[in-house]
Each structure stands twice: as C-alpha cells, then as structure tokens.
Amino acid sequence: MPEPIISVVMPVYNTEKYLKESVESILNQTFTDFEFIIVDDYSTDSSWQIIQEYANKDPRIVAVKNTGEKGCWSVRNFGWDLAKRKYMSLMDSDDIALPEMLQKQFDFMEQNPDIDVCGGWIKNFGTNEQAPRFPLTHEDIKDTLFFYCCMAQPTVIMRLSSLNKLNVRYAKYIAEDYELWTRLVHQVKFANLPEILLFRRMHANQITTAERSGQNNNANWIRIRNIQNINIELSKEYKCKYLDIVEGNVVQKNTYELVSVIKMLNMISTNGAKSGYGQYFQDIIKNFIKNIIEHSLQNNVTSLKLYFTTFRKWKIFETPRANLRYIYHSLRNLLHV
C-alpha cells in the first residue's frame, strides 16, 4: 500500500468542546491520501481521550503526546518532526476545514512546483464573522508580511523537501506563525488560494484571544525586526509611533509630529524599495500616509500649506484627481461650504 502523500498536523490543547468537529472536518475530506498527526500538548480536559477514540476508529490518525516543552511553537515543531510525507498541511483543533481543502491544496502544489508555502482565505465565525481576503502572489504576500500576517496558518500546506533543506522550524513566540513566515518568505515562494478553505472559530478560550497582549507584543517585535532588516534604526519614540500607525492609531498631535512621521514612512518606503519590496509595499505606505493626513489635520490652512510644501513634492497622491480632491476638500472645510 503506497504511503500517504500529505501529513496533516494538528496540535491540541484543551479543546474538548470543539475537537470532534475539527477532527471530523479532516477525516471527511474529499482527498483521502493523508496521514493525520494529532499532537496533544499536555491537555487537562478530555481532549486526549477524544483523540484516542478517533485513532482507534481510523488508521490514518497518528495520536501522540508532546514530550517536549509545552507551548504552541514547541508542539507544532514536535508534529513537524513526525511529518515525513511530500506535503505538510497545518490544522488547528478548534477550526473547521471545508471538505475540499486538502484536494485544492494538493492540486495547486502539484501544478505549481515553484511554490513551497501555500495558504488560502478563511471565514471567521463565532464572536467575529469577518472574511479577510489575503494577497495571492508571492511578491504581494512578501510586501504585506512586512506589516501584517497574511497567511492563515490552518490553511497552509508546505512542501517539506524544500523546507527541510533549509533546516527551519518555529521559534519560541506566541505569534509563531507570523515569525516563521517573515523568515521563510525571503527563502522560498509563497502563494494564497483565492477562495475560502476553512472556517476559523473565534471564541474566548483560543490562544489568539487568551494571550492577545503577548501575541501583539511578539508581532510588534517582528515588525521592528523587519524595519531593522531594511537598514533603519528607529528611536524608542519612533518605534512606538510606527507601531501605532500600523495598528491604526494615526492621530498626530501637531504639524511637527505629522511631518516627522511622514518623513519616517518615506524613509521606510525608500529603503524598502532598495531591499526588494514592491508596489504592494509602497501602496501600504501611501495608505498609512493618507490615513494620517485625514485623521490628524484639524487646521485646514495648515493642510493646504503642507500640501504645497511637502505632499506634492513626495507625490503622496498618485493621480491629478487625487491631488485635486485633497485641495477641494481642504478649501471646502476652510470656507465652511
């Protein structure tokens, strides 16, 4: 009997409430040529018993307990070390994979041998029902990862032969996936499928909620590392300003602060281009600048002055229409019409 071609790896920690639904969403895939490695990470509820029940029924399941350090990064590496097939597909123990997820992942990877990491779109459900649309191409993914995580981990499939040659693994971070992607994207090619592959459950006990503060701190550290990697060293004050901008806190207190942060973003734009980041990267920077301008300028005389002394010079507004629209709205606000 031929060996399975995909290793599906799912870490589990105290998800007894959702585990059966998640496990069955993998077992009921239309693509059946896989092994299902389920790694329990020192659960204190009935998760391990549930895993054993399914393992006794389905020979595709490899049920193991993590014997290393407890934690999401560690248990994922434990499962990775057990995965020996051509591809490794990642899964979380509280999400629901759509029935054709593995088939679509497999077909894409087989048809695109230059791609080593592929994700897809998701739809949140529970406390949040957003359906984010992530960028699709390697260049746009690389540009976006500089600022945000745009790879939904439980939709990711990886070509193990390529990744194992690089000797990479998850590092010890709460935002372990974002940290890994920002390293890997400079070594292998990424892609996202333009369709929803998985329903991501949003609930109070998931790691992304329970450890939100630590995850945000990790993500911010990664963002500053990205800045340093394009040869920019920001002061502590401007690191905070930059992170506020990325997180959407865009109000600057005065004209000096406004011009200073725009200069900072212009420097990031310039160094990013020199470091190989593309148009999507530049578009994100321009959107940051536009948002800052929109939310920070209370004095409309100042807004016109800044346009003619700074914004036009830096070509912040791409088209003649955008330039005229800015002047038009500034004049309307100034004249109260």
Give residue limits of the domains in the chain. Answer: 6-213, 230-335
Q: Are strands 190-202 and 117-126 parallel, antiparallel or unpaired?
A: parallel
How far is 332 from 323, CA to CA, in rounded Å? 14
Task: Tell me how many helices (H) and strands (E) the chain has.
Answer: 15, 8
pLDDT at 331: 65
Burial of 239 (0-12, 13-18, 19+ CB in 10 A): middle
pLDDT at 211: 59
The residue among 256, 215, 259, 257 whose CA lies nearest residue 240 is 257
- What pLDDT digit, counting tens, does each position of 91-135 carry? 999 999 999 999 999 999 999 999 999 999 999 887 666 777 899
> pTM of this prediction?
0.86
Ramachandran sector of residue 277 (left: φ over 0; alpha: ψ -120 to 50; beta: rest): beta
- What pLDDT digit, counting tens, does each position of 246-293 carry? 988 766 666 677 778 888 998 999 999 999 999 999 999 988 887 887
Q: Does domain 6-213 have CATH number 3.90.550.10?
A: yes
- What pLDDT digit, counting tens, does each position of 162-217 carry? 999 999 999 988 889 999 999 999 999 999 999 999 998 876 665 555 555 556 78
Q: What would the 3-class secondary structure string for 149-161 be?
A: CCCCHHHCEEEHH
- What pLDDT digit, counting tens, does each position of 305-317 carry? 666 666 666 665 5
Phi then psi for 9, rounded to 5 degrees? -115, 125
How far is 314 from 316, CA to CA, in rounded Å? 5
CB 77 within 8 A of CB 47: no
How far is 38 from 82, CA to CA, in rounded Å? 10
The residue type of 121 is W
pLDDT at 289: 81
How far is 128 from 323, CA to CA, in rounded Å? 37
